[in-house]
Amino acid sequence: MALDSDAPDWLRELALAYESGAHGQFVLHGNVADRFVLAGRLVSLSQYLDAQVLGGFQIVFSFDAGNGLALLRGAERVREWPAFEKLGPWPRDPRAAMDVIAHYLRYRANLRALGRSDGNGVALILRGIDQWLPGGQSGDFGIASLASLVRDFASEPPYTDLPFVSLLLADNLNDLHPLVAFNPRAARLRIALPDVPSLTRALAQLRIDHPAAFDPQQGDESTAQALAGVSLSALQSMVRQRAHEKRPLQPADFVAIKKTLVEGEAAGLVEFLETRRTLDDYHAPGALKTWLRQDIALWRAGETRALPMGYLFCGPVGTGKTYLVECLAGEAGVPVVKLKNFRDRWVGSSEGNLEKIFRLIRALGRCIVFIDEADQTLGKRDSGSGDSGLSGRLYSMIAQEMSDSDNRGRLMWILASSRPDLIEVDLKRPGRVDVKVPLLPTATVAESAALLNVLLKRFDIAPGAEAIASLSLPTLLTPGAAEALAVKVYRRVCTDQIDVLAALRESLTGYQAPVPAEVMQFQMRIAIREATDVQFVPEALRHFGEAPT
């Protein structure tokens, strides 16, 4: 197999495994529906494989659920098969199609045993195999028998005695029947979203094909870096549209374009958080801001060994955990991907969704991965039999991804929870979450006044923290509660035509905290005990973290 000099690593691994005789079956999963650069064209994965690794195979079969069985090459040789005339139309049913392949391979094995083999190699491409050989069908005998036959192509004579290779293409490995997906005699190769060099090559070709979509002054490499995480097929569609509109791509468009394309590829599984806020907009103790800014400076300087793998922001409800993530993202200047609900009621779909999310964030380059309500989202090591082990499988996948040391300095995981005690201890350990930060309500009247003054500035009615502190302010005030109070004050200023201090005084009359005191104190104790450094905890609140005597 003579590969191009810029062939991806997965293709080189495939060629080595086949030529060495280590494997004859390959499960290609991940970005299999994308386009690939081949001789100045963007082609499908089947075309790419045929041109790059199947050139030495005289007979190439293809099967997918929509088109059925087909011959990509070698029709004249297959017609020499005595059973060919009896076949009639090529079958569209998966079982019938695999039976034809098995029958033909046994015929070639018989010729080989009789010394009449012509030495022609046979290749089989099974597209979208996870659609017609799905996981989660353990009780279906028809599916199981079909899976057993496809598995035999990799491990049983006479198939293993022939120059025969089978390439199985699946979007998500976990969506494929486990007999095939995890066959030890088959090699599993993950096809990632295109990296910057691949995007650069694709852009160079698209610039030739659709010049009206490009600014001559804009380099392809800088454009590729800005669009990392976008598939080539999505990029091609966007370029064609821009060319039709005669509207060149501009750097100012890249953030919006990337957001649209990536969220479209992720099919509602992730959300990009867009923000112009920085840590200047977050009201927090100086020690916390200093720590976070130091980490961002290390990130920008490339000092990856000094960076945490992840953060845990914990604290009572309303303490601004999500807001802090937005401010941190604006400070760092990197994309923030928020995981949405990736759980699905269909067996295997949740795992497949998580695979797709991981594939996306690996391709984005530097980014922050945000998991809100982490105590509910991340699953449990052992959730019992209530969900057929789903939570345990999801937990295992997330734990493995979070502990991948190659991600240090590239991906930063941020978990947020008001109940960090419900997150599995293994997920909070160093190497996955290195820094745990408690976000707490105000400890003193002065802190409450300063927080309210910051929020009233948004309405241009801030009277100053000292003036506010002269009133009977509550302590243990969260940013969420303070924001609700600021809105109430602004409403009174507008409707009653009174000054802001009078409106605040009236708003405080009969004020009740939105969260019961016992709940607030319980969540504070949990958060303080989670803290990795006592400097994150105001001295006036440290007693909440002390064990009861």
Q: Where do the H-state alpha helices sit in 136-253?
A: 141-155, 178-181, 196-209, 220-226, 232-245
CA distance 522 to 146: 55
SS3 527: helix
The answer to whether residue 386 scores a pLDDT higher than 60 is: no
Question: What are the angstrom distances between the C-alpha of 209 and each of 206, 316, 528?
Answer: 5, 55, 59
The sign of the CA dihedral 530, 329, 199, 123 is positive
Residue 384's pLDDT is 56
Q: Which two tokens stand for residue 223?
A: 């454009």
- The percent of residues in the chain predicted with pLDDT above 70, rounded, is 96
What is the tens place of the pLDDT at every residue in 193-239?
Answer: 888 888 999 999 999 999 999 988 888 888 888 888 788 988 898 89
Could you tell me the CA-to-CA distances from 207 to 44, 117, 201, 233, 248 in Å, in that order? Answer: 19, 48, 10, 15, 10
- In whole numbers, what is the pLDDT of the chain averaged over residues? 88
Confidence of residue 102 (pLDDT cuts 50, 70, 90): very high
Instruction: Give residue 2's pLDDT.
Output: 63
Question: In the predicted model, what is the mean pLDDT of residues 394-409?
Answer: 86
pLDDT at 526: 93
The CATH H-level (homologous superfamily) assignment of domain 272-438 is P-loop containing nucleotide triphosphate hydrolases (3.40.50.300)
Name the strand (E) or helix (H) holding 500. helix 500-508
Residue 283 has a pLDDT of 79
CATH for 9-191 is: 3.40.50.300
d(CA 234, CA 101): 34
- Give the pair of three-digit tokens for residue 476: 């243990």
| Three-class SS state of 416 | strand
Mean pLDDT score, 157-169: 94
pLDDT attached to residue 139: 66
| pLDDT 10s digits, 468-504 | 999 989 989 999 999 999 999 999 999 999 999 999 9
Residue-level pLDDT at 347:
56
Question: For residue range 253-279, what is the model confidence (pLDDT) as tens digits?
Answer: 777 777 777 777 777 788 888 778 888
Tokens standing for residue 148: 């057993």
Span 502-526, pLDDT tens digits: 999 999 988 888 889 899 999 999 9
Residue-wise pLDDT tens digits, 72-95 = 999 999 999 999 888 888 999 999
